[in-house]
A and B are shown apart, each in its own frame.
Chain A
Amino acid sequence: MLKNMLKATVFATTMALAAGAFLAPAFAEVVYNRGTAAESESVDPHKTSTVYEANILRDLYQGLVMQDQNANLIPGAAESWTVSDDGTVYTFKLRKDGQWSDGSPVTAEDFVFAFRRLEDPATGAEYASMLYPVKGAEDVNTKKGKPEDMGVKAVDANTLEVTLKAPTPYFLEMLTHQATYPVNKASMDKLGADWIKPGNLVSNGAYTLAEWVPNDHMKLVKNPKFWDAASVKIDTVNYIPTEDRSSAMKRFEAGELDSYDDLPTEQLADLKTKFGDQIRVGPYLGTYYYAIKTDKAPWDNVELRNAISMAIDRDFLAEKVWQNSMLPGYSMVPPGIAGYTPAVAKYADMSQIDREDAAKKILEKLGYTPEKPLKMEIRYNTSENHKNTAVAIQEQLKPLGIEVTMVNTDTKTHYSFLEQKGDYDVARAAWIADYKDPETFLGISRKASGNNYSNYNSPQYEAAMDKAAAAGGKPEERMKDLADAERILVDDVGNIPLLYFSYKDIVSPKLQGFVDNVMDVHPSRFISKE
């Protein structure tokens, strides 16, 4: 008897193995091991803040509009939309075949719920401001208004009407941000706090969340209910956080990762030799700048600020410190936004030697020489490259009569000091675009912005920005107005822009559809793997 059972087992196992081997090629699962430099914070769109979640949430959810492999705006859960003549009412037609991963339809009501939830103070959404252009949204978020009064209305199951406070030409671009994605109310009501757990999470994107082991991997599997599931080529995407950039390069080389979204900049030259065109470096919408206290003597002197800005050799910073993983920057808005020409500093086309001479003259006029130097403190947050940047600037300014001292603190200390308007001279900061519009870069220098670390306060700039906002309905005129505003900001040296960011990816030749773009956006649904 026992012998028979044993035989049967052996036979069954053999058959199963044979069948498996036979069937495997036909149903080979396509797995994309996608390396990321940091772990995500949350898969709740209303609780995220980093670009690391942005990639994952773009795979899990569909907002009204989405981005394609070129970071261009495409229809998402909405298949079409119309905008009223005055630019304040957006009417979205949701696609009829839009479904949640549990099979229920995605309705206009879902977006009403999600938009209200994002603004609800109890949610504590860091990116609640993404919907501030919507009428009444800011009031809800700041406890001045009721959610019912927000300008979002489900006209019928497939029609969503959004009313804005004022015409906002970049509103559609803002809607590509993950904070505006919908969440599934039914599963929240049913499961309470557990709705977010892998296996429970109901989403409406190309993938669903199967597993999440923090700091190890997040497994996304293809969502058969996704409206365009037929064109999704990759069955499983494993997001693999690998914080150590050097280890990540080895994991890529060993085939453990198919792509990775950062590079160890100090090894960039070697990596380019070794991996050739698998290394992708190109312009990314981000600006690395120094905030300078414009309301504190002696930095309140425009001439002095201009001299300092002029004397900094940005080519050296980009090439030597950042190994060409950054580009020299002379404007707050980086190049790459269609229809917009950044206002670069006037000395940008001078040679570095001429700039230094000009700076020296100004400084001498103001009474600063190497013998009688001006003391300047640069604050930066912990990072080898931030340190090297500050050290290089220290060396560059020394012969001109500026004695730089440096204060290094950890990131939290740094930004809390800046936020509390501590007593600093110059502080490192950076800005990465939330959406493709100059507004995202220029808004941070407005008087009232929490990110105005230079305490820049210029009535001309405020007026120019208001004029651009008023030109909302006319995109071309608005872009011109914004460039005029940036001209004021840059000539005033409201900040010292230093470098433009680059995206830095390493991508296996096995992957197709991983297209370089200024937002470094690469939705898995457009990627395929050999």
Chain B
Amino acid sequence: MLRYVFRRLLTAIPTLFVIVTTAFFLIRVAPGGPFNQERGLSPEIKANLDAQFGLGDPLWLQYVHYLGNLLRGNFGPSYNMPDFTVGELFAKGLPISVQLGASALILALLLGSVLGTIAALNQNKLADYSVIALATAGSTIPTFVIAPVIQLLFGLTWKLLPIGGWGDGALINKIGPVLTLALPQIAIVARLMRGSMIESLRSHHIRTARALGLSDWSVVVKHALRGAILPIVSFTGPAAAALLTGSVIVETIFSIPGVGRHFVVAALNRDYTLVMGTVVVIALFTIIFNLIVDLMYAVVDPRVRYD
């Protein structure tokens, strides 16, 4: 098992290298640079700015410098927010995005699994249809609609929650964003769970368990659930990587200072170092969560072994 983990982490290094290299050159292909804006700069002033950030050097040299700094854990300065380094921006924003994302993910997994199981056990009955309706609604209504509705109802009409802001991490400020993040995920998990649970309930070993006279509870929770949960586990890997690295829509609407906004804003601003930083962070999260998922298989499914 440990050897497997070690091997997987080793193979992650070339993967990361390829991602970093591709991203580095790809963002440079995009027209314009960090200092193009409404007010045009004179060539001399632009040259001063380029020199300050090493943007005047040949591209290959910039790449070598970047890789060198990256290996030392230095993401470089942000071009558009020169008071901060990219590392500092992540140190401030990432914990916030992770908190919100993790809360939403846990909520989605718990609620989604329960709803999916209830639907599967009551196939083609009212409870099933209700869950399906809810799931369809949850996955089709976009977050940019859900978020303002939550603000309007809970914030303005009932005055239960603040409209926006992080409020130094007060619980009450997290409810709206977490709900908005979780709703579509609950829908996906419920649908996945319903499908795999129906399948699992029809399998031979469940029929055997029922024939042996085990109680319904025991059949569902101890036996059927174990087989049914595998698709949820595979879903969790990429979902965690996506949720934990923040959402641009939710962060913009609720004014949350997470890192989700950097992904889009940095690309639009051609803030090269910040773009690279976000790429590295997302890549790392994806690699790590996929590894965790694979290890989880071994725990959940007795047929899977990594020796």
A420 and B17 CA atoms in complex are apart in Å by 33
A88 and B216 CA atoms in complex are apart in Å by 95
Known: A214-B89, A250-B163. A413 touches B155 (CB 8 A): no
Cβ-defined partner of B81 (8 Å) among A41, A197, A250:
A41
Tell me if B151 counts as interface (CB < 8 A to partner A).
yes
Q: Is the CB of A124 within 8 A of B93?
A: no
Q: Mark B264-306, 1 if CB is under 8 A from A, else 0.
A: 0000111000000000000000000000000000000000000
CB distance from B148 to the nearest CB of A (A): 6
Tell me if B58 counts as interface (CB < 8 A to partner A).
no
Q: Is the CB of A250 within 8 A of B269?
A: no
The interface residues of chain A lying within 8 Å CB-to-CB of B81 are 39, 41-42, 214
The interface residues of chain B lying within 8 Å CB-to-CB of A216 are 165-166, 255-257
> What are 11 A-B contacts defined by CB distance under 8 Å?
A44-B82, A49-B37, A122-B48, A124-B49, A124-B52, A125-B48, A247-B254, A250-B152, A412-B34, A414-B32, A419-B36
Tell me if B44 counts as interface (CB < 8 A to partner A).
yes
CB distance from A162 to the nearest CB of B (A): 21
Tell me if B4 counts as interface (CB < 8 A to partner A).
no
B79 nearest in chain A by CB position: A41
The interface residues of chain B lying within 8 Å CB-to-CB of A409 are 31
Tell me if A43 counts as interface (CB < 8 A to partner B).
yes
Closest 8 pairs between A and B when the two form their complex, measured CB to CB: A412-B32, A416-B32, A124-B52, A216-B257, A450-B40, A215-B257, A416-B36, A413-B31
Tell me if A297 counts as interface (CB < 8 A to partner B).
no
The interface residues of chain B lying within 8 Å CB-to-CB of A42 are 81-83
The interface residues of chain B lying within 8 Å CB-to-CB of A417 are 31-32
A493 and B213 CA atoms in complex are apart in Å by 91
Q: Is the CB of A126 within 8 A of B163?
A: no
Q: Mark B90-114, 1 if CB is under 8 A from A, else 0.
A: 0011000000000000000000000
The interface residues of chain A lying within 8 Å CB-to-CB of B36 are 411-412, 415-416, 419
A432 nearest in chain B by CB position: B38
A126 and B49 CA atoms in complex are apart in Å by 8
Known: A247-B148, A247-B163, A250-B156. A215 touches B32 (CB 8 A): no
Q: Mark A34-46, 1 if CB is under 8 A from B, else 0.
A: 0000010111100
Q: Is the CB of A251 within 8 A of B33?
A: no
The interface residues of chain B lying within 8 Å CB-to-CB of A243 are 252, 255, 261
Q: List 16 extra interface pairs beyond A243-B252, A251-B164, A256-B162, CB under 8 A.
A: A49-B39, A121-B51, A122-B51, A124-B49, A126-B35, A126-B41, A213-B92, A215-B258, A216-B256, A411-B268, A412-B30, A412-B36, A412-B270, A418-B40, A419-B36, A451-B40
Tell me if B45 counts as interface (CB < 8 A to partner A).
yes
Q: Is the CB of A247 within 8 A of B164?
A: yes
Cβ-defined partner of A128 (8 Å) among B45, B84, B163:
B45
Q: Is the CB of A41 within 8 A of B48?
A: no
CB distance from A358 to the nearest CB of B (A): 32
Q: Mark B37-74, 1 if CB is under 8 A from A, else 0.
A: 11111111100110111000000000000000000000
CB distance from A158 to the nearest CB of B (A): 31
Q: Is the CB of A129 within 8 A of B45?
A: yes
Q: Mark A415-436, 1 if CB is under 8 A from B, else 0.
A: 1111100000000011110000
Cβ-defined partner of B156 (8 Å) among A213, A240, A254, A416:
A254
Tell me if A141 counts as interface (CB < 8 A to partner B).
yes
A410 and B31 CA atoms in complex are apart in Å by 9
Residues of A with Cβ closer than 8 Å to B?
39, 41-44, 47, 49, 121-126, 128-129, 141-143, 196-197, 212-217, 240-244, 246-247, 250-251, 253-254, 256, 409-419, 429-432, 449-451, 453
Q: Is the CB of A415 within 8 A of B38?
A: yes
CB distance from A342 to the nearest CB of B (A): 21
> Which of B36, B43, B269 has the most chain A CB atoms inside 10 A of its CB?
B36
The interface residues of chain A lying within 8 Å CB-to-CB of B155 are 250, 254
The interface residues of chain A lying within 8 Å CB-to-CB of B268 are 410-412
A141 and B32 CA atoms in complex are apart in Å by 23
Q: Is the CB of A415 within 8 A of B49?
A: no
Q: Is the CB of B252 within 8 A of A43?
A: no
The interface residues of chain B lying within 8 Å CB-to-CB of A453 are 40
A214 and B258 CA atoms in complex are apart in Å by 9
The interface residues of chain B lying within 8 Å CB-to-CB of A251 are 163-165, 255
The interface residues of chain A lying within 8 Å CB-to-CB of B206 are none
Tell me if B253 counts as interface (CB < 8 A to partner A).
yes
A135 and B97 CA atoms in complex are apart in Å by 50
Tell me if B234 counts as interface (CB < 8 A to partner A).
no
Cβ-defined partner of A413 (8 Å) among B30, B84, B165:
B30
A201 nearest in chain B by CB position: B83
CB distance from B246 to the nearest CB of A (A): 11
A418 and B32 CA atoms in complex are apart in Å by 10
The interface residues of chain B lying within 8 Å CB-to-CB of A411 are 32, 36-38, 268
CB distance from B162 to the nearest CB of A (A): 6
CB distance from B255 to the nearest CB of A (A): 5
CB distance from A305 to the nearest CB of B (A): 22
A68 and B155 CA atoms in complex are apart in Å by 36
Cβ-defined partner of B165 (8 Å) among A125, A214, A246, A256:
A256
The interface residues of chain B lying within 8 Å CB-to-CB of A419 are 36, 40
The interface residues of chain A lying within 8 Å CB-to-CB of B261 are 215, 243
A142 nearest in chain B by CB position: B44
Tell me if B139 counts as interface (CB < 8 A to partner A).
no
> Which of B43, B49, B93, B166 has the most chain A CB atoms inside 10 A of its CB?
B49
The interface residues of chain A lying within 8 Å CB-to-CB of B51 are 121-122, 124
The interface residues of chain A lying within 8 Å CB-to-CB of B166 are 213, 216
> Which of A41, A122, A214, A450 has the most chain B CB atoms inside 10 A of its CB?
A214
CB distance from B144 to the nearest CB of A (A): 9
Cβ-defined partner of B48 (8 Å) among A121, A214, A250, A432:
A121
Known: A256-B165, A412-B31, A450-B43. A244 touches B252 (CB 8 A): yes
Q: Is the CB of B156 within 8 A of A253?
A: yes
Q: Is the CB of A244 within 8 A of B152?
A: no
The interface residues of chain B lying within 8 Å CB-to-CB of A451 are 39-40
Q: Is the CB of A254 within 8 A of B83?
A: no
Q: Is the CB of B255 within 8 A of A241?
A: yes
Instruction: Give B19-34 interface residues, CB cut-off 8 Å to A.
Output: 30-34
CB distance from B119 to the nearest CB of A (A): 35
Q: Is the CB of A126 within 8 A of B45?
A: yes
A431 and B42 CA atoms in complex are apart in Å by 16
A212 and B30 CA atoms in complex are apart in Å by 31
Q: Is the CB of A44 within 8 A of B83?
A: yes
Cβ-defined partner of B151 (8 Å) among A44, A250, A431:
A250
Q: Is the CB of A122 within 8 A of B52?
A: yes
